[in-house]
Chain A
């Protein structure tokens, strides 16, 4: 039985798998895209969507998207968001994202892949017409990896739209598709029967019931085909044909209980009650919560009755009655347990979710006995959807709660930074202002020198390159010449000549060393540039640090207040929704348990009548036997 749950769990509770190569076929250029994919590969849809959404948001806002590394993965990312949202069961947003890809400027295979996913989404959401309409938009090249899957989905959608002849044609073409052999055959059988081609349908189910392969999927579809065909034949009173078909179903497979029940019935319908006892007796010893086992517990004494072994029949009816009584009590306890919230608490247990077989493990929890009876319910689509929503809401609640704590920590950090920086910054700013004015002054000087040097390249001005000593000497000469002009009368010609010679020496030195001086001046300016560049870097680093200091505690209050409001509102909504979702799950569970209890109560009534009838027949047989013995004795005397 646990294997049935396992398979159902695998089929229905498994996270949607990603087409890995859709994300890793190209060389990775954007690390954040790689990070989103890392989360998606682990089924961490929330983190994957959150990361990729942010990356796409930023990419759409850059001035030159072609220079952004996400540019290389743009189509994959757009597609990925929809795919991940599908994984997180955000069908509305996923639908919009897929539609955006389809309508965008993408390559044909990517577009067709998106259409396929959109169609699958509609199909899952029970919108077969939309699904068909979507698939009809596929044009041109379809990626090799999904080609058969597209056709298989087309067949399923056609069946859901009651277009069985077309569906049958699709499934016929898929008979040899790798990995789909059995599934295509089974669906072909069902489509043919629905189309009215009974013989073709049966033949297809019969073929599928004998396919080779030992994978769990092949074994399961083979069993299912045989079971469906077998019961169809039984329904048509063809027990002789049904028996060998039902016997093909594995005794330890997920469909074995129903196969054993049907196999017994195939014999019983032909009056072969002794043979019917073989499968029914095996079945009656299995897990009592299974509906087929409960039916077998009535079928076995029924067969004994038919074989006129009324005493044994009465005993077995009594045994069944006791077992049903226990189960009815257990169901009553389970219903109370569900109403007390124990079922929901069990579903939310963390350690169970770490295990892929957690639905199976759930049965072993002492506080969740009801799960024995809820296997079919738990495997149903609605329950699975509701359960996942419940668990997702639980996760969201936890996230929101952690974020509230994070905001507290952020505020604490901001407070500490403010307390540290606020007293320091005014003094730092004052010192910086002084330095800043000095720096500006020096920069202006440097600029003037640069302009002069540039100017004298075209109009040489040797005097600009005079040394400080030379300039002082020139000034002194000027002063002497001025004095001579005032008191020239008394000055000797020798003095005038000496002054002229000094001026000549100065002019000579400046002129003859002009080229070297110009070169040296340029070299000095270049050296100065290096110092200035360093200074600029230090200046910019200081400005950045100064800004960072301010930004480390200013401007967050409004954002944090806003986030607090959003989180509180989301928490409230999640809480209300979670309560409603939990209530829905409990209602489903209670309804299912009640239905099973009512069924068992009906069985108990049948069993009571059958016991009485068996005792009557046993007594009658005993009486008849006694009368017969006495008659024989009388005749003998």
Chain B
């Protein structure tokens, strides 16, 4: 019995020393081979995704009529953005509720494409509403109206939500 327990201790000791490399002895080569094949199929699918994106854009959002709206926040903003609503010419076109991850990505400087659609050339009304909680914990709901002009070629509209006060929603041309 003593020997048996001694063997256990020795075994655990060895295990601890090789901990970083510990793993199943399992089919290493098989795992590696499969991993390489998975990488290949990821490459294939990414390439299909790129082609489909182009096809979708050409078919559904031709450049003559395309309008895309992007939401961003200045880096370091601490307020919590819960939702953004977008209306174009009085029609609601996008309503987005933010997850924690999405909000964090915006706060770090990422830009979210919230809407892509089609409009005629000319002037259009854009209404943006942002709701959330300020850093102090109070609820806020801000809305701003803008005019945007659609010319020939895609129109990329940036919506910057920069705080919880009035006039905190501004437009940015991309």
Instruction: Point out residues on A near B: beta carbons under 8 Å.
Output: 20, 23-24, 28, 31, 34-35, 37-43, 46, 49-50, 53-54, 57, 69, 88-93, 190, 224, 227-228, 231-232, 234-235, 258, 261-262, 265, 268, 292, 295, 298-299, 302, 305, 376-377, 380-383, 385-386, 389, 392-393, 396, 399-400, 403, 406, 410, 413-414, 541, 544-545, 548, 551-552, 556, 559-560, 563, 566-567, 570, 573-574, 577, 580-581, 584, 587-588, 591-592, 606, 610
Chain B contact surface mostly: helix
Give the complex CA separation of A413 and B60 in angstroms.
Answer: 9
- A residues less than 8 Å from B104 (CB atoms): 41-42
Task: Say yes or no: A380-B23 contact (C-beta < 8 A), given A396-B42, A566-B48.
Answer: yes
Task: Say yes or no: A567-B5 contact (C-beta < 8 A), given A90-B42, A383-B24.
Answer: no
Which of B13, B35, B56, B112 is the one whose CB lies under 8 Å from A234? Answer: B13
The answer to whether A231 touches B9, judged by C-beta atoms less than 8 angstroms apart, is yes
A494 to chain B minimum Cβ distance, whole angstroms, is 69
Task: Say yes or no: A31-B174 contact (C-beta < 8 A), given A231-B16, A610-B1.
Answer: yes
**Interface assignment of B143: CB less than 8 Å from any CB of chain A:** no
A143 to chain B minimum Cβ distance, whole angstroms, is 18
- A residues less than 8 Å from B110 (CB atoms): 34-35, 37-42
The answer to whether B109 touches A50, judged by C-beta atoms less than 8 angstroms apart, is no
B127 to chain A minimum Cβ distance, whole angstroms, is 21
Task: Say yes or no: A93-B39 contact (C-beta < 8 A), given A38-B105, A38-B110, A382-B31.
Answer: yes
Task: Say yes or no: A563-B52 contact (C-beta < 8 A), given A383-B23, A588-B24.
Answer: yes
In the complex, how many residues of chain B place their beta carbon closer than 8 angstroms to a beta carbon of chain A? 65
Chain B residue nearest to A613 (CB atoms) is B1
The answer to whether B64 touches A92, judged by C-beta atoms less than 8 angstroms apart, is no
The answer to whether B26 touches A556, judged by C-beta atoms less than 8 angstroms apart, is no
- A residues less than 8 Å from B70 (CB atoms): 31, 34-35
Task: Say yes or no: A31-B158 contact (C-beta < 8 A), given A396-B41, A566-B44, A577-B41.
Answer: yes
The answer to whether B101 touches A42, judged by C-beta atoms less than 8 angstroms apart, is yes
The answer to whether A548 touches B64, judged by C-beta atoms less than 8 angstroms apart, is yes
Task: Say yes or no: A382-B34 contact (C-beta < 8 A), given A46-B49, A50-B50.
Answer: no
Give the complex CA separation of A20 and B152 in angstroms.
Answer: 36
B89 to chain A minimum Cβ distance, whole angstroms, is 20
Chain A residue nearest to B22 (CB atoms) is A380
**Interface assignment of B28: CB less than 8 Å from any CB of chain A:** yes
The answer to whether B41 touches A228, judged by C-beta atoms less than 8 angstroms apart, is no
Interface centre among B49, B105, B110 (most CB of A within 10 A): B110
Which of B16, B102, B111 is the one whose CB lies under 8 Å from A227? Answer: B16
The answer to whether B50 touches A544, judged by C-beta atoms less than 8 angstroms apart, is no
Residue-by-residue, is B1-44 near A (CB-CB < 8 Å gives 1, otherwise 0)? 10011001110110011010011101110110011111101111
Which of B17, B22, B38 is the one whose CB lies under 8 Å from A581? Answer: B38
- A residues less than 8 Å from B53 (CB atoms): 50, 54
Which of A386, A548, A563 is the one whose CB lies under 8 Å from B55? Answer: A563
- A residues less than 8 Å from B45 (CB atoms): 396, 399-400, 570, 574
The answer to whether A234 touches B9, judged by C-beta atoms less than 8 angstroms apart, is yes
Chain A residue nearest to B101 (CB atoms) is A42
A548 to chain B minimum Cβ distance, whole angstroms, is 6
Give the complex CA separation of A234 and B6 in angstroms.
Answer: 9
Give the complex CA separation of A40 and B109 in angstroms.
Answer: 11
The answer to whether B102 touches A42, judged by C-beta atoms less than 8 angstroms apart, is yes
Could you name 6 residue pairs across A and B whose Cβ atoms are closer than 8 Å? A41-B108, A268-B5, A386-B34, A410-B56, A577-B38, A606-B1
The answer to whether B39 touches A90, judged by C-beta atoms less than 8 angstroms apart, is yes
Give the complex CA separation of A263 and B158 in angstroms.
Answer: 63
- B residues less than 8 Å from A91 (CB atoms): 39
B36 to chain A minimum Cβ distance, whole angstroms, is 7
Give the complex CA separation of A552 and B35 in angstroms.
Answer: 41
The answer to whether B52 touches A190, judged by C-beta atoms less than 8 angstroms apart, is no
- A residues less than 8 Å from B174 (CB atoms): 31, 69
Give the complex CA separation of A39 and B62 in angstroms.
Answer: 24
The answer to whether A38 touches B111, judged by C-beta atoms less than 8 angstroms apart, is yes
Which of B19, B41, B51 is the one whose CB lies under 8 Å from A573? Answer: B41
Task: Say yes or no: A23-B1 contact (C-beta < 8 A), given A90-B42, A381-B23.
Answer: no
The answer to whether A262 touches B9, judged by C-beta atoms less than 8 angstroms apart, is yes
Give the complex CA separation of A41 and B75 in angstroms.
Answer: 13
**Interface assignment of B169: CB less than 8 Å from any CB of chain A:** no
- B residues less than 8 Å from A410 (CB atoms): 55-56, 59
A382 to chain B minimum Cβ distance, whole angstroms, is 5
Give the complex CA separation of A23 and B24 in angstroms.
Answer: 37
The answer to whether A37 touches B111, judged by C-beta atoms less than 8 angstroms apart, is yes
Give the complex CA separation of A39 and B108 in angstroms.
Answer: 11
Task: Say yes or no: A35-B38 contact (C-beta < 8 A), given A50-B50, A382-B31.
Answer: no
Give the complex CA separation of A567 and B152 in angstroms.
Answer: 34
The answer to whether B152 touches A544, judged by C-beta atoms less than 8 angstroms apart, is yes
Task: Say yes or no: A552-B59 contact (C-beta < 8 A), given A228-B16, A563-B48.
Answer: yes
Which of A40, A190, A305, A560 is the one whose CB lies under 8 Å from B17? Answer: A190
- B residues less than 8 Å from A28 (CB atoms): 72, 109, 111
The answer to whether A46 touches B46, judged by C-beta atoms less than 8 angstroms apart, is yes
B77 to chain A minimum Cβ distance, whole angstroms, is 13
- A residues less than 8 Å from B59 (CB atoms): 410, 413-414, 552, 556
Task: Say yes or no: A50-B46 contact (C-beta < 8 A), given A234-B13, A563-B51, A581-B34.
Answer: yes
The answer to whether A232 touches B41, judged by C-beta atoms less than 8 angstroms apart, is no
Which of A31, A43, A54, A541 is the one whose CB lies under 8 Å from B50? Answer: A54
**Interface assignment of B162: CB less than 8 Å from any CB of chain A:** no
B171 to chain A minimum Cβ distance, whole angstroms, is 13
- B residues less than 8 Å from A190 (CB atoms): 17
- B residues less than 8 Å from A38 (CB atoms): 105-106, 110-112
- B residues less than 8 Å from A393 (CB atoms): 38, 41
B2 to chain A minimum Cβ distance, whole angstroms, is 8
